Amino acid sequence: MNDIITDLLAIIGVVLNGLPQGLLALAYGFASVPTALAFFVGAIGNTVTQSVAPISFQAETITYAGTAGKNRSERCTMIFIGGAVMALIGAFGLLTKIVDFIGEDVAYGMMAGVGSILTKAAIDMIKSDKISGGVSLAAALITYFITRNNAPHAVWAGVAMMVIIGVILLTKLLPKIGKYVPASVYRRLVSGILRKAGVIFVPLYENKKSLGMPELDFLGVT
């Protein structure tokens, strides 16, 4: 029973982590339906290969492509080329060699850096929105002390996560779900990602006008 709870918490946590990044992708003009199909393909691939590394949103990639690309075509091309390069790296088994070359010290340093950034974000969120920030922090601590380790069935937890996000994107529920989450959470996450990348956010209304997506108003970016 405890294993099932741990798996469910892992699935819910990763899905919730992906929602704001998905909103960021929509804001930059990336289409939800093709992205949903990619998640379904990933779910099938992980089921067949039993890989524990799921497909998810990458905020830094979205941010760079969204700001460096002049239009949606350029952004999609950049993402496609990056994906093709990673596919070649994986196909030739180079990823493991690259990780081994980097070494544990650098990898642990990167994880510690990410942890520091997330800790600061949590503190800032509590200061700006005590209820949302406090609930988020309490949920994180409770989850940590209950589970401690990774999901016992990591492959199936990853597959379930990809299917759930795929369904959310396919049914275009993402903007609607975002309306029920405090805007401060999304604004702080998005602005934090952009500051880390050294980027100034281009006014969102330009993308909304071309995409016809007034649902993104709740992001509070003007």
Cα-Cα-Cα-Cα dihedral sign, residues 51, 80, 34, 36? positive
Predicted local distance difference test score (pLDDT) of residue 210: 39
DSSP 132-168: HHHHHHHHHHHHHHHH-S--TTHHHHHHHHHHHHHHH
| CA pair distance 202, 112, nearest whole angstrom | 30
pTM, to two decimals: 0.68
Distance between CA 151 and CA 179 in Å, rounded?
29
For 167-215, the pLDDT digits (tens) are: 999 998 888 877 766 555 555 555 555 554 444 444 343 444 434 444 4
Report which of residues 6 and 33 the model is more confident about: 33
Q: Model confidence over 15-34: pLDDT tens digits?
A: 887 887 888 788 777 788 88
Instruction: Give the model's pLDDT for residue 182.
Output: 59
Q: What is the mean pLDDT of the chain?
A: 75
3-state helix, strand, coil in the chain (%, to 5): 80, 0, 20
The closest of 127, 178, 160 to 42, measured between CA atoms, is 160
